[in-house]
Amino acid sequence: MAKHIIFLGAPGAGKGTQAQRLSQYLHLPHVSTGDMLRASVQSGSEIGRRAAAVMDSGALVSDDIIMDIVAERLTLEDALAGVIFDGFPRTVHQANALDALLERGGSQISAVLHIALDDEEIVERLSGRRVCSGCGAIYHVLYHPAQTSGKCDICGADVVQREDDHPDVIRKRLAVYEAETAPLVAYYHDRPAYHRIDGHGETDVVFARIVEAVRDKD
């Protein structure tokens, strides 16, 4: 049976980084809603053209189109053994639709990995992030500072804080997550596939916890 894995977690909890690592570890494709949308549009498929028309109009892509794109993605050869979903599903409605889609194909979610991290630590992580205005290199004032304050080690351009990384903006993003996406935790919580992963600590330490969780499903 295909091994489909879902990562849950607030912005800044590290789910993107860990999903990529697990993708390499399990040799499963790492897919996000954005990646699937872009690939579908570029493919020129019927659903891709529908999605492109909606995005060109400035409207949000509907759940129906998103689910058609997910269904399309799961038919590709590299997804036959399973995929690692990052940032999908975003709502309980999408989660219900995904369950129904997988059930029709004779599979199910094998692991739901919820990376849990305190809001204030997320604010510290994200608000400390700095980006080179020239080459895009990423730094952190605590964990990976530039050698010369305010200047990129690679190209020498100014290192700046993005608007999205200001503490007040981060807290607003966390509030949106709590209202819209956190109900997914309740949706999956009582399933044997659900694992709460402590997101505190070094990246390698958190990854070891994830590997231990998915090992239960091998």
Question: Which residues are designated catalytic?
Answer: 15, 90, 129, 162, 173
The answer to the question of whether 38 is labelled as a binding residue is yes
105 annotated to bind ligand: no
Q: Is 155 known as a binding-site position?
A: yes
Please tell me whether 87 is known to bind a ligand: yes
Residue 14 annotated as lining a ligand binding site: yes
Residue 82: helix, strand or coil by DSSP? coil
Q: Is 61 annotated as a binding residue?
A: yes
Maximum distance among all Cα pairs of the chain, rounded to whole angstroms: 56
Beta strand ranges found along 20-123 (DSSP E): 30-32, 84-86, 109-116
Q: Is 139 annotated as a binding residue?
A: yes
Backbone phi and psi for residue 87, each to the nearest 5 degrees, phi listed first: 85, 10
What phi and psi, each to the nearest 5 degrees, are found at residue 23? -60, -45
Q: Residue 116, annotated ligand binder?
A: no
Going from the C-alpha of 147 to that of each of 30, 57, 91, 132, 157, the distances in angstroms are 33, 44, 42, 13, 13
Residue 215 annotated as lining a ligand binding site: no
Q: Pick out the residues of the known binding site for Zn(2+).
A: 132, 135, 152, 155
Q: Pick out the residues of the known binding site for AMP.
A: 33, 38, 59-61, 87-90, 94, 162, 173
Q: Pick out the residues of the known binding site for ATP.
A: 12-17, 129, 138-139, 201
Q: Pick out the residues of the known binding site.
A: 12-17, 33, 38, 59-61, 87-90, 94, 129, 132, 135, 138-139, 152, 155, 162, 173, 201
